[in-house]
Chains A and B, each alone.
Chain A
Amino acid sequence: MHVPDGFLDAKTAVTTGGLAAGGLAVALRQVNQHLPRSRVPLLGLAAAFIFAAQMLNFPVAGGTSGHLIGGVLTAVLLGPSAAVVVLAAVLIVQCFLFADGGVTALGANIFNMALVGSVAGYAIYRAVFRWKQDLRSRLMGAAFAAWCSTVLAAICCAGELTLSGTVSWRVAFPAMANVHMLIGLGEGLITALVLVAIARARPELLEDDTKLAYAPVAGFGLIIALGLALFVAPFACSWPDGLEKVAGVLGFQHHAAATPVLPAPIPKYALPGIQSAGWATAVAGAIGTVVVFGLAWLLARTLVPKESH
């Protein structure tokens, strides 16, 4: 999901850069104020851990393999603000040391994977975890949140590509969302398995006592909402937009210029098969979310048998 250089135009690069810088500033401030000094080296080590973990390949059917992304895992282990700093560090090193992910797309990558991937994922995890506070619901929340965060980050990525005029929404959204609904399954499973392994070896590492303060929730919430409004909302709705509707009602639609001033790069409805794919994907996504919630519940029940808690 690392966006390379050349895929985002100036306005998207600047917007995502601004949002990423804002989110990172909130996270750094939060960590500076609340993280004990003794835990500062852990941020660097956790970033190195995520990097090493991404090199470990999990075999998937057909000779392919996948790896961990780690947003929700880090957020569950260290808290959301620390996770943003850790994942941003991973992305910066991948960009400058390995040329993986572009420099001009660094803001977009940090927004998608560090902010949406871990903070939005963590919010979902907390919502499930608040429900019942034991290891089983913790695992279930983490697995479900990992799936959601992978899909959400992919949708944001599709929105950024569309906003840049690189790929049309009707192509980018189904392609990115469908692929990442599958990748997310692996992410959820790995996250739950790693958490259960840590819970067996050092259960105290999982004791999460972060009290969510008002300021970071508001800060992160605002930045993510702003990003979703900019990158996803304009494309998510395939109804005729307000202006077209008004024009139709008032009957001056035929006054519209017959030859457009600028030729549209992608003529409307040029791909009859793909036109409804956005809706099909959205419906599939809604059903998928419910199914994955059930799967996460089953997974947690299998990993934590009744008698052990």
Chain B
Amino acid sequence: MRLFDHYARTDSPIHRLPAALKLATALLLVLGLVLLRPGGWFAGAALGLVVVAGLSRIPPAFLVGRLLLLEPLVLGVAALALLQPGGLRVFATILTKSTLCLFTMILLANTTPFSEILGVLRRVRFPALLITTLALMYRYLFVLADEAERMQRARQARTFGRTRWAVLATVLGQLFVRSTERAERIYAAMCARGWK
């Protein structure tokens, strides 16, 4: 399976910037977009984001695809605002803000490897247990997603007709059992390598 964050590991001037700088800039921009009144500077921010996207050499089709994939979630919640009087303006404002924020976060995720973001969080004294959990989760995310896909494929090869919920739930139950067994092996491996 192709990694979700494939482009985070490609190379470009933007990718080479320090992770802390990118994280801080993205967070400040999102905060500004959310808290400040919408105005002309929104267009400036949008232009800036497009320039950064161009410099990062990520295919525009990929970025637009990610944006379109996430936009329905925004539209779903924003549509609630349409149900009330004067909702159209609220709807338009929210849609602009959310889309710009989404684009910022998509750019951040695809120019900065998650492990580097974790490194920044460790430096600002995020709780160690949470960092360990996040790091392990990121490491095994793709492994377990692959495993789930293989189990699904194996099941599809053996059964015909509609997939029943009970069968899917058995796949999930089995996946959890395998995750706990894997966690036990990982613990043994961590201890063998000197983890306290």
Answer whether residue A168 sits at the interface, using C-beta atoms and an 8 A cutoff.
yes
Whether B102 lies near A5 (C-beta < 8 A) is yes
Q: How far is the CB of B49 from chain A (nearest CB, A)?
A: 13
Contact of B166 among A42, A92, A193 (CB under 8 A): A193
Answer whether residue B73 sits at the interface, using C-beta atoms and an 8 A cutoff.
yes
Can you report 6 residue pairs joining A to B where beta carbons are below 8 Å apart? Answer: A56-B148, A100-B70, A102-B101, A102-B105, A167-B80, A171-B84
How many A-B residue pairs lie within 8 Å, measured between CB atoms?
240
Q: How far is the CB of A106 from chain B (nearest CB, A)?
A: 11
Answer whether residue A286 sits at the interface, using C-beta atoms and an 8 A cutoff.
no
Q: Which residues of B contact A (CB under 8 A)?
A: 4-5, 26-27, 30-31, 33-35, 66, 70, 73-74, 77-78, 80-81, 83-86, 90, 94, 97-98, 101-102, 105-106, 108-109, 114, 117, 127, 129-130, 132-141, 143-145, 147-148, 152, 162-163, 165-166, 168-177, 179-180, 182-184, 186-187, 190
Q: How far is the CA of A154 from the CA of B134 in the complex (A)?
A: 26
What residue in chain B is nearest A8 (Cβ atoms)?
A: B34
Answer whether residue A189 sits at the interface, using C-beta atoms and an 8 A cutoff.
yes
Of A13, A41, A175, chain B has the most CB atoms within 10 Å of the CB of: A41
Whether B86 lies near A59 (C-beta < 8 A) is no
Given A5-B102, A48-B137, A198-B173, check contact A97 B130 (CB 8 Å). Answer: no
What residue in chain B is nearest A198 (Cβ atoms)?
A: B173
Q: How far is the CA of A91 from the CA of B41 in the complex (A)?
A: 30
Q: How far is the CA of A274 from the CA of B87 in the complex (A)?
A: 15
Q: How far is the CB of B148 from chain A (nearest CB, A)?
A: 5
B136 / chain A contacts, CB cutoff of 8 Å: 41, 43-45, 47-48
Given A41-B190, A166-B94, A167-B84, check contact A55 B148 (CB 8 Å). Answer: yes
Q: How far is the CA of A166 from the CA of B34 in the complex (A)?
A: 12
Q: How far is the CA of A194 from the CA of B168 in the complex (A)?
A: 9
Q: How far is the CB of B113 from chain A (nearest CB, A)?
A: 10
Whether B77 lies near A201 (C-beta < 8 A) is no
What residue in chain B is nearest A70 (Cβ atoms)?
A: B172
Q: How far is the CA of A41 from the CA of B143 in the complex (A)?
A: 15
Q: How far is the CB of A206 from chain B (nearest CB, A)?
A: 11
Answer whether residue A276 sits at the interface, using C-beta atoms and an 8 A cutoff.
no
Q: How far is the CB of A74 from chain B (nearest CB, A)?
A: 10
* Stretch among A209-217, A248-256, A263-271 lining the B interface: A263-271
